[in-house]
Amino acid sequence: MKIEKCKTASIILAGFLVISCNVKKDSLDNGSSLKNAYEKDFYIGTALDINQINENDSEVNNLIATQFNAVTAENIMKCEVIHPKWDTYEFDLTDKFVAYGKKNKMFIVGHTLLWHSQLAPFVRKIKSKDSLQLFMTNHINTIAGRYKGKIDGWDVVNEALNEDGTYRKSIFLDLLGEDFLITAFKLAEKAAPDTELYYNDFNIEQPKKRAGAITLLTKIKNSGARIDGVGIQGHWSLDGPPVKEIEESIIAFSKLGLKVMITELDVSVLPNPNKMVGANVEQNFAEDPKMNPYTKGLPDSVQVKLAQRYEDLFKIFIKHKDKISRITFWGVNDGQSWLNNWPIRNRTNHPLLFDRNNKPKLVYEKVLGLKK
């Protein structure tokens, strides 16, 4: 579908010039929503931050409840937050997150039980195999067990692969070997027997890493451990990856008998340092004004490119709706996006469907329009 150039409207808010493509004034008031439009296809989800979990902003809260029917914990269930010390767990925020999802009748995703990054400091100091095994057992049993029957899906293991498809170096690989993934899934199945269990990673739509993911997923399945799905983190850009590679990956993972999810969808509109791809949080670059061109708003030409990119992606998702169970955006609005501070801090990115004022962008209309 050809997207016509849109008209713009500019307003000044707290010294910030917001330029946005003109959309229907009643686009959020006429009963239409993403979750309703795609209700028969797949869940439409978002990631919640602390302010959203605490319902600090009624406008944002209404937007979430209206547009989405699945929620993922953006950061609060990562080890450094939920399990800061060996014998200390912090459940207050996670309890609120789960209650929020239940109240709004949403599909609730826990993120994540095991990840090499954002570990509590005490974990990094573990030196023995037995101690790390005990940590992993206690961590999964305690957290997954607490939310047994309350959380619908768990990202059990997050980002265990390198770009060439080999196992990523981590404390878990170093001390426990490759089978730490199998152990994690078996522990999660026992602690939360009625919860869907997933492997989640970025760039696994790219050929080499996809092949490694297929080998890893097959090994888990063949071990007798239960794994229900795979999450393709959709941290993409205006220029890539090609939709052909995304489609081939959806098909390949589905052939393993797994549900496929696009779990952390956002599309960066900013220049890409060193042509890097993916979401490796350990990659960071120095601030540079040339890498931050849209501080005063997103030009029409880029709005159109963003809308076209999302439209192309959703056409593939709709085509394979029999294989896909959930599409989750990594954030509610542009202001929340982690891409404002990664891989370069203090940038102004515009990767989502709602702007910093929670208003729908042209891309929202195009994604919604595919179902009209």
Catalytic residue among 159, 189, 196, 365: 159
SS3 (DSSP) at 13: strand
Distance CA 280, CA 140 (A): 24
Instruction: Extract the runs of DSSP E, i.e. beta strands, from the chain.
Output: 8-13, 16-21, 43-48, 70-73, 107-115, 153-158, 196-202, 229-233, 235-237, 259-268, 324-329
Give me the DSSP letters along 134-200: HHHHHHHHHHHHHTTTT-SEEEEEE--B-TTSSBPP-HHHHHH-TTHHHHHHHHHHHHSTTSEEEEE
Distance CA 102, CA 108 (A): 8
Catalytic residue among 74, 189, 205, 264: 264
Is 247 labeled as catalytic in the residue annotation? no
Count of alpha carbons within 13 Å of 24, Cβ hemisphere only? 12
Question: What is the separation, in whole angstroms, between the first and last Cα of the chain?
Answer: 14
Asked whether the CA dihedral 163, 169, 172, 173 is positive or negative, the reply is positive
Is 264 labeled as catalytic in the residue annotation? yes
Residues with a catalytic annotation lie at: 159, 264
